[in-house]
Structure 1
Amino acid sequence: MTLPPLALYIHIPWCVRKCPYCDFNSHNAPDALPQREYVEALLADLDRDLPLAQGRPLRSIFFGGGTPSLFSPDSIARILDGANARLAFAPGIEVTMETNPGTVEHGDFAAYRRAGVNRLSFGVQSFDDAALKRIGRIHDAQQAERAIKRAQDDGLNNLNLDLMYALPQQTLDGALADIDKALAFDTPHLSHYQLTLEPNTQFAANPPPLPDEDSAWDMQEACQARIAAAGFGHYEVSAYARAGGESAHNLNYWHFGDYLGIGAGAHGKYSSIDESGALQVWRRWKVRAPRGYLEHAKSERVIGGDDPVAVEQLPFEFMLNGLRLTGGIPLTDFHATTGLGSDAIRPQVEEALRRGWLAPQSDRLQPTESGQRFLNDLITLFLPEKGGET
């Protein structure tokens, strides 16, 4: 057994204002962000996780949030310089930073690029001002368009635009108009996903008027066709890319690679090989509250949990990621990242084939069109058996 590739996730937990649909670990920013203190905490956190890397270089780095662009380019540079002093960066490493179009001033993009960021993910969500207001975003369409153009002018062309559909009161024409606006920027990557009501959010407590299920499906199909006609490949459930524009960091997740997670509430997944050569998969996460994270960053108490994944749970964990890829995932990846043989999933695969959810391939696990539509049901087949049922 060999260890899978390694990535790094860095969580910046603050936003100008938390969106009513958001269930991420994000918090309204204080008047003065503790940037220096938090950078020191992140690097102390990384020091504690270094043994988990086991000499592997980082293939990708992702700054998520929250809104990482609330941190200055100097702070981002200190984090990246500190990471590179501790871990090797693979040649051509992808370094992504999420950004809100309403929080970046002109000139910052060039500075972020000099800091080491080479990919941006813009949380646009919509180019319609009324739609943005209904979902509680702090930017308007003009700010989004201006920010994207400024990033491109500053030499950051590896961009992802995040768009949502089935927004409150949205029509099919409105959803397609958002796609057309996004395509006009000629970015290499688009993310397009449905607004859902997540537990413990403002929208869950007070649901807005959303399009019905049939309307949402019509939007999804029409938008997919429009994106495909523009030359994008639909390579993951909600991700589209021109050739070579796929997200390296997200592909590592979907291929069940390893990743260190540092920052308040950050989650990581890592693998180890014992003396007998058996592979064990672990999940580690950090203290969720920013104040608690800062308080405990230099002690073991910053680790909220560090648990092995049960062997019987591994097929489900693997499929939860790999089956999101529309082209599927090689069967050899299952053994390489779980340590299990194909016999461990043979009954579930046969059942998925019987239902028409997997393509009949001997060396690859690939969802059919029906499997993509009923993806949650397909993945659920791989849950550990309970009482004789799957």
Structure 2
Amino acid sequence: MTIESSASPLIFGGAQSPRAALPVLPPLALYIHIPWCVRKCPYCDFNSHTASPVLPEQEYVDALLADLDQDLHAVYGRELSSIFFGGGTPSLFSAEALGRLLKGVEQRIAFASDIEITLEANPGTFEQEKFRAYRALGINRLSIGIQSFQEEKLKVLGRIHNGDEAVRAAGMARQAGFDNFNLDLMHGLPDQTLDDALSDLRQAIALKPTHLSWYQLTLEPNTVFWNQPPTLPEDDALWDIQEAGQALLAEHGYAQYEVSAYAQPGRPARHNLNYWSFGDFIGIGAGAHGKLSHPDGRIVRTWKTRLPKDYLNPAKSFKAGEKALTNEELPFEFLMNALRLTEGVEARLYPERTGMPLESLAEGRREAEQSGLLQVEPSRLAATMRGQLFLNDLLQTFLT
């Protein structure tokens, strides 16, 4: 959507800023958080909670739509380019509940004709039986949490499915009409060898997903693994796994387009591309985060009440907080997303989506280029291969 405005430049810290109104608002996406899981995994630091025998589907869908109503002021006539159901395990919800939710969303915000709607799912048989019903709702992409196909690794990770169920899940997704699906797979697992990691990857490739999220297990605070750390492979072994795995994926036509994302031609996740190119997204649901641009130049990050019981409490607000990004924060905020992409982004997106002139990055660009971390490419902002390996060092050059 194009916006015309004569708003004055914003003022921060007592000095006039060159940041101005946004002439074009970014694409708009919707993230819907469903926070319940059958069981919390020991490595997981997401906002997920063990489900009770009966989920409050009706109440939660009502809350989600009421939450969305409060963010409609930031739509500004845009269509939704993508929807992502994340969790938790969204596929614990019935097709009936998700259908009512999608209908309510579309009544409030128009869907793009080619909208991508992704649902995270697990390989358990109970969830697979719902795949066909989900597809009938217009959900056109699945993201299936495999993590490993090996029994001993799944047990250590606390997963509730087995390797056979993981294999069957991909087949059932295809039979249900999903010609676009992602498999989530981890490497660097406890006591994992190079052969173990490549065996998992070969099995995943054999299932012919259109997209693979292949990422290293890390120990995060506030998890069981953080407090009781398992034995993970040494750095040299991790490097060998990374190199061999990337070569194997490339050999089979999966191009790396982000730090841990690989896709067949034309099949990158559009929802995530929107995140990484500093697009806008409304976040609804317990603990959901959003990022919303306004025609006057304000860019606001929002976050919602975290605990499901509080989110469902009518006496409490859905929104837990919000923060308008300052000029000093914008370069880092934009680049920490854009530089995750292996090809980066067109340089013109920086002024279009921040309201800041490209020249405001000049000093950091020079330093990063001289350090061999940023490509010398005037029309693009893209990390070198070295910059992708040392992304934190690259981002540090843009901190003011």
Q: TM-score, normalised by structure 2?
A: 0.93
Q: What are the equivalent positions in structure 2 for 1:218-233 lying under 5 Å apart?
A: 218-233=240-255
Match 2:118 to one of 89, 96, 108: 96
Aligned counterpart, 1:52: 74
| 2:273 pairs with 1:251 | yes
Per the TM alignment, residue 104 of structure 1 is displaced from its structure 2 partner at its CA by: 3.6
Write the distance in 2 (CA, Å) between the matches of 1:55 and 1:288.
29
From 183, 189, 195, the counterpart of 2:211:
189
SS at match of 2:323: strand
Question: Residue type matched to 1:284 in 2?
Answer: T
- Which residue pairs with 2:360 in the alignment? 344
CA distance in 2, matches of 1:83, 1:4: 19
1:272 alignment partner, one of 294, 297, 305: 294
State the secondary structure of the residue aligned to 1:121: strand
Letter in 2 for 1:130: E
1:176 has 2:198 as partner: yes
Identity %: 54
Question: 1:50-75, CA deviations, whole angstroms, 9 ceiling, x for partnerless residues?
Answer: 11111110000000000000001111
Structure 1 counterpart SS, 2:44: coil
The 3 A distance-change label for structure 1 pair 106 and 328 is closer
SS at match of 1:143: helix
State the AA in 1 paired with 2:358.
Answer: S
The CA deviation at 1:30 is 1.0
The CA distance in 2 between the partners of 1:381 and 1:164, in whole Å, is 30
Q: Is the 8 A contact 2:135 2:178 kept in 1?
A: yes
Residue 57 (structure 2) aligned to one of 13, 35, 38: 35
Deviation at 1:105, TM superposition (A): 3.9
**Which residue does 2:346 correspond to in 1?**
330
Contact 2:310/2:316 (CA < 8 Å) preserved in 1? Answer: no
What amino acid is aligned across from residue 87 of structure 2 in structure 1? G
Q: Distance in 1 between matches of 2:397 and 2:210?
A: 34
Q: Which residue of 1 aligns with 2:303?
A: 285
Q: Conserved in 2, the CA contact under 8 Å of 1:69 and 1:104? A: no
Distance in 1, Cα, partners of 2:189 & 2:268: 26
Aligned to 2:172: 150
2:391 is the alignment partner of 1:375: yes
Secondary structure at the counterpart of residue 10 of structure 1: strand
- Which residue, out of 123, 140, 146, partners 1:124? 146
Correspondence 1:306 to 2:322: yes
The AA in structure 1 aligned to 2:393 is: D
| Contact 2:91–2:127 under 8 Å retained in 1 | no
Which residue identity does 2:40 align to in structure 1? K
Structure 1 match to 2:233: 211
Paired position in structure 2 for 1:138: 160
Residue ranges of structure 2 left out of the alignment (5+ in a row): 1-22
User: Aligned equivalents of 1:281 and 1:304: distance in 2?
Assistant: 17
1:22-43 Cα distance to aligned partner (Å, 9 max, x none): 1100000012100010000001
Q: How high is the TM-score relative to the length of structure 1?
A: 0.95
Which segments of structure 1 move beyond 3 Å, counting only runs of 4 or more? 103-107
Query: Which string of whole-angstrom CA distances, capped at 9 and with x for unpartnered residues, describes residues 73-114 of structure 1?
Result: 111111111100110001110000001112644431110001
1:243-275, Cα deviation, whole Å (9 max, x unpaired): 11110000000000000000000000000122x
Look up the equivalent residue of 2:215 and give its one-letter code: Y
> Contact 2:121 / 2:127 at 8 angstroms: preserved in 1?
no
Q: How far apart are the structure 1 equivalents of 2:398 and 2:225?
A: 31
Distance 2:103 2:71 in 1: 17
Letter in 1 for 2:309: R
* 8 Å Cα contact 1:74-1:115 kept in structure 2: no
Give the aligned residue type for 1:206. Answer: Q
Distance in 2 (CA, whole Å) between partners of 1:300 and 1:306 is 16
Equivalenced residues, count: 378
- What's the secondary structure of 1:317's corresponding residue? helix
Equivalent in the alignment of 1:388: none
Cα distance between partner residues in 2 of 1:234 and 1:31: 40
Q: What SS does structure 1 have at the residue aligned with 2:313?
A: helix
Residues 135 and 106 (structure 1), Cα distance of their counterparts in 2 relative to 1, 3 Å cut: closer
1:355 equivalent among 371, 385, 389: 371
Tell me which amino acid in the other structure corresponds to 2:289. Answer: H
Q: 2:90 aligns with which of 68, 80, 83?
A: 68
Q: In the alignment, is the contact (CA less than 8 A) between 2:26 and 2:280 conserved in 1?
A: yes
Gaps of 5+ in 1: 386-390
Specify the SS of the correspondent of 2:294.
strand
Report if the CA contact (8 A) 1:13-1:67 is conserved: yes
Q: 1:163 corresponds to which letter in structure 2?
A: L
How far apart are the structure 2 equivalents of 1:8 and 1:252?
Answer: 11
* CA RMSD of superposed structures (Å): 1.0
Equivalent-residue separation in structure 1 for 2:199 and 2:237 (angstroms)? 16
Contact in 2 for aligned 1:270/1:281 (Cα 8 Å): yes
- Aligned counterparts of 1:210 and 1:111: Cα–Cα separation in 2: 40
Q: Aligned residue for 2:262?
A: 240
CA drift of 1:300 comes to: 7.2
